[in-house]
Structure 1
Amino acid sequence: MAAWSELLAGVRGVLLDISGVLYDGGEGGGAAITGSVEAVARLKRSRLKVRFCTNESQKSRADLVGLLQRLGFDVSESEVTAPAPAACLILKQRGLRPHLLVHDGVRSEFDQIDTSNPNCVVIADAGEDFSYQNMNKAFQVLMELENPVLFSLGKGRYYKETSGLMLDVGPYMKALEYACGIEAEVVGKPSPEFFKSALQEMGVEAHEAIMIGDDIVGDVGGAQRYGMRALQVRTGKFRWKSRLWASGDFLVTVPWRGLGAC
């Protein structure tokens, strides 16, 4: 308990990843990770502010929240920071019209965005829609632009579902970067602007917050680079060898039952 007190000293807010931390997706919507529902409930009863910060890009925010509620989580749409709404805001601010290479489940988030005569590409975790034809179309759009712009909703390498590990958007993003000779603008973790947005919604400063996730790069590394503390749970994509990549003073790996006790 002394170690927990030291780790949480001065912390006013907690950012929680969702996939691999609260639940594993899969057939029938997936399943809550053992202890996660109770841990979220304990956090919400504590003095800490809680917000959910996710790179989920196969579901709209409304659908994601609906799934979490059915699994027993106390969460509302206003408590979730997700990349698709953030990307829409950027597109509107910069007057961009995207070619969308995204999953059908998140396409509704872009209903108010002009996609005619595209002058950029938005790529997300498109799942089965990552075909050669669809990747090649995105490549062609970018190559026809004088100043190609590629947005990626996250840059994760893989994530975990109940059936096993699944490729995420990162490898496909890298393929387009390599083919087009450009660098994608990442909307989502580990982007500093994404963490900034989540913290502003929560009303706390970076040094007053801790990020809890299963991704050593996107969750832990991204949070630490933004000046936050970070904690990696031993669920989801966690692998023991990934601990070798950690840096900073605040990496702790715990099962959910350990977090729920704090």
Structure 2
Amino acid sequence: MASVFAHIDAVLLDITGVLYNSGKGGGPIPGSAEGIQMMKEAGIKVRFCSNETQCTREMLAKKLNGYGYEIEAADITMPVLAAKQIVQKEGLRALPVLHPDAEADIEGVETSNPNCVVLGDVGEPLTFHALNEAFRVLINSDSPVLLSLGNGRFYKEGDGLTMDVGAFRAALEYSSGVKARIVGKPSREYFESALAELGMHEKRERVAMVGDDIVGDVGGAQGAGMRGFQVKTGKYRVSDESHPQVKPDAFVENLLDFAKKVVAERK
């Protein structure tokens, strides 16, 4: 029987919890830059697939490169840009509830008399006023739309675990009665977009997603026909190994451990 690490030609990498830990006390995760370089040298395509919504992808690339990575902004798939396309394509009028550093990525959408809320991970700048304004848009619109940029429960910062956008998505759904559309992991639509950008749409069984979120990264990727691997960094918890629904193709210690195993299968 072939190894789960064999016949992998392309890799999608989560960012927070795989390449670096965010927030106070955060920084690069040792070995990740080496692992990326190792895979590229072995001819494996590498793309980055993140639910990060606290900055633009240019800002994120700059931050990562400051940690010693070599990443182009164009190589990062992020949900804010996908949400912008939806708003414009469907003729919606948006109220963005985003971190101030991410607002530039949604500039140009119609915002007057909004009938749509675009909700991201705002972090500490989030206020009750902002959430309540979003609630009022949803409850008062004839055909309201709630776009949630991801559906994570929590993520790891340098000083501990932090609530993610999924908690605030649930609050708005409960109060307004409007079901959110998830734009970002774990939605299949988002993974399909990343596959297309990799040029691996027809060879998805040879694509691996590596992340620290067993549902958003691993479960989402497997649901789209890819392999899913969970690193034991970031927000990994021992309880993930007995998750009732999602079973990773394998757990790995970190990204470097994954890269070594995949490259070894190509020799």
The normalised TM-score by structure 2 is 0.92
The separation in 1 between residues aligned to 2:132 and 2:96, in whole angstroms, is 13
Alignment partner, residue 84 of structure 2: 88
1:23-81, Cα deviation, whole Å (9 max, x unpaired): 011248x4100111111111111121110000000010000000001111121011110
1:254 Cα deviation (Å)? 2.5
Match of 1:255 in 2: 254
Q: Tell me the distance in 1 between the aligned counterparts of 2:163 and 2:138.
A: 23
Alignment of 1:195-214 (within 5 A): 195-204=191-200, 205-214=203-212
Q: Deviations over 1:79-106 (max 9, x none)?
A: 1100011111111111111111110010
* Cα distance, 1:116 vs structure 2: 1.4
Alignment: residue pair count: 258
Instruction: State the distance in 1 between where 2:173 and 2:156 align.
Output: 25
Which residue matches 2:187? 191
Q: Shift of residue 114 of structure 1?
A: 1.6
The within-5 A match list for 1:1-262 is 6-27=3-24, 30-204=26-200, 205-245=203-243, 247-248=246-247, 250-262=249-261
How far the C-alpha of 1:248 sits from its partner, in A, is 4.6
Aligned-pair CA distance for 1:207? 1.4
Shift of 1:9: 2.7
SS of aligned partner of 2:64: helix
AA aligned to 1:224 is Q
| C-alpha distance in 2 between matches for 1:59 and 1:200 | 24
Percent pairwise identity: 43
* Structure 1 residues 58 and 157: alpha-carbon distance in aligned structure 2, compared to 1, 3 A threshold: same
Corresponding letter in the other structure for 1:15:
L
CA contact (8 A) 2:51 2:150 kept: yes
TM-score (norm 1): 0.94
The separation in 1 between residues aligned to 2:252 and 2:259, in whole angstroms, is: 13
**Corresponding letter in the other structure for 2:144:** P
Letter in 1 for 2:11: V
**Any conservation in 2 of the 1:157–1:167 contact (CA below 8 Å)?**
yes
- Cα deviation for residue 208 of structure 1 reads 1.8
Check conservation: 1:35, 1:260, Cα contact below 8 A.
no
2:194 is matched by which residue type in structure 1?
A
CA contact (8 A) 2:214 2:240 kept: yes
CA RMSD of the aligned region, Å? Answer: 1.6
* Amino acid paired to 1:226: A
State the alpha-carbon separation in 2 of the partners of residues 239 and 102 from structure 1: 28
Q: CA deviation at 1:175?
A: 0.5
Structure 1 residues not aligned, in runs of 5+: none
Alpha-carbon shift at residue 178 of structure 1 (Å): 0.8
